[in-house]
Amino acid sequence: MTLAAFTGRETFDPVPSVGVLASLELNALAEPPTGTTLGIFVSPGGDLPKHSPLDWNGLAAVGFEAKMGQTVPLPTDDGRLILAGLGDGNLDANGLRDAAAAISRATSQVAEIAIELPGVLPAAEEAQLAVEGVTLARYRYDALKSKPTVTAVSTLTLVGGDAAAIAEGAERGRAMAEATTISRDLANTPPALLTAAQMADVAVRLGAERGLEVEVFDEDDLKAMACGGMLGVNAGSTEPPRLIKITFEPEDGGEATLSLVGKGIMYDAGGLALKPADPVHAAMKNDMSGAGAILGTMVNLGRLGCANKVVAFLCCTDNRPSGSAIAMGDVLAVRGGTTVEVANTDAEGRLVMADGLVLATEEPTDAIVDIATLTGVAMRTMGTEIAVVMGNHGALVDQVEAAAHRVDEPVWELPLATRYRKQLDSTVADIKNLGGANAGSITAGLFLEEFVAGKPWAHIDIAGVADNESDASWRPPGCTGFGARLLAELALEFTAPLPGKDAR
């Protein structure tokens, strides 16, 4: 009997959010429908809707001051009114997304809601942000629960002037939200229900539906390709590895080419360097969050109208201990022939990504961006709300930072300090997979840089932001899907960095 059978889920869809968002009815109207719960944004002391049963004195008496994220429900003759505060500052995109999320959270058991757009930003942008805020805030991983935690939004009506622009922006919001929710679904799925092979099946199915070219390489293929990093990490697992290559190409071939490489450790026990039995170990089903974020991005690029070609490599395997697992001190030869001394089997992500990075360099590309839950010290450095970014080309890092800001998935650059490179020197191989006790995120980045062949490259370490314990705004507890919208935004706005210009 398989572990999947023990869960009662022998037939299981790892990405249920695709169906939920596909069935969401999005409407653009000039006037709010009667009888529907209506959310309206208000600023402190600003104009109130004419049908509000309370003035500002009455609102103050119930504790509503229109602070950002604050809401108050009010009964009206034709339905329920939700006032959502915008705070005192100038409203920006991230603030509007947060405010829409607050409305969604205040109506968590209501399936049909309407939101009156404030008319401060362009109509299409406001519609996109509203859809993202509402749907991402309402997300819960309920696939294995007997009863859902919250009610899914079935109908979202956006009220404003330019119906065509609102409808266009709403569909863009649906696609961006789906990128994140696919990533969340995959990372939240228990490892018994999402192996590397099953991850490949999801990629093939969604790729076929969205017009992507998907190639799957199995264990025999990886042996023929000399991908020793993936094979070495997989050696202790009974589940075979999969390298998944996904290609999105516009009809005109694309203005530029961006390569993405994702860490897809479906479950990380640490190998023979076994992790302790603590909450960190229990969360290691999310160690494929980088690959999950890329998959969520790729299947939505066509719907978002991406003008660039994007090629992704998802490096998927378990990292488990067994009699066949690699040991500390073993030497692997990754794709391209570089030999790596395994100083720690729990530094496995960089081993599988070395193969993916080399493969990315073997095809024409303007830049490579990788994303991974790579180092626990990234959390010690940046906490749980900011990811680490570093790279060898300043203009590319700048593009990553700009995309991160636009979608409110913040990153902060660490230096790719070559003075620490000597920590990776090995006496028996070309390089070790682990540096010293300090600067662990930087030495991990320096390791990855060895395999990019000098091409413009940026590395995003999402170890600290991949999981969320709190419940706030559009970020519910559980796996966050961090990086999916960031990469989608990057792909949409990507321009080829000039060779040698602003190289680190």
**Interatomic CA distance for residues 111 and 104, integer angstroms:** 10
Determine the Cα–Cα distance for residues 181 and 480; give it in Å rounded to an integer: 8
Say whether 350 is catalytic. yes
Phi then psi for 465, rounded to 5 degrees? -110, 0
CA-wise closest residue to 288 among 41, 63, 483: 483
Q: How far apart are CA 319 and CA 311, in angstroms?
A: 25
- Which strands make up the sheet holding 387-391, listed edge to edge? 213-217, 242-248, 309-319, 257-268, 367-372, 457-461, 387-391, 411-413
Give every CB contact of residue 247 below 8 A, 6+ residues apart in sequence.
212, 213, 214, 215, 309, 310, 311, 312
Q: Which of 487, 13, 449, 18 is nearest to 291 (CA)?
A: 487
Is-contact 218 314, C-beta < 8 A?
no
- Spatial CA neighbour of 451 closest among 228, 249, 156, 173: 228
d(CA 85, CA 178): 26
**Mapping DSSP to helix (H, G, I), strand (E, B) and coil, where does residue 213 land?**
strand
Is 275 annotated as catalytic? yes
Q: Which two tokens stand for residue 44?
A: 């402190």
Q: Of these residues, 172, 350, 432, 485, which one is catalytic?
A: 350
Q: Which of 210, 275, 406, 504 is catalytic?
A: 275
**Cα(62)–Cα(408) distance, integer angstroms:** 31
> Which candidate, 422, 425, 426, 416, places its Cα nearest to that of 448?
416
Helices (H), 81-162: 93-106, 123-138
d(CA 157, CA 34): 11
* Cα Rg of the chain, angstroms: 23
Give Cβ neighbours of residue 31 (< 8 Å, ≥ 6 apart). 159
Distance CA 145, CA 148 (A): 6
Q: Are 14 and 185 in contact (CB under 8 A)?
A: yes
Residues acting as catalytic residues: 275, 350
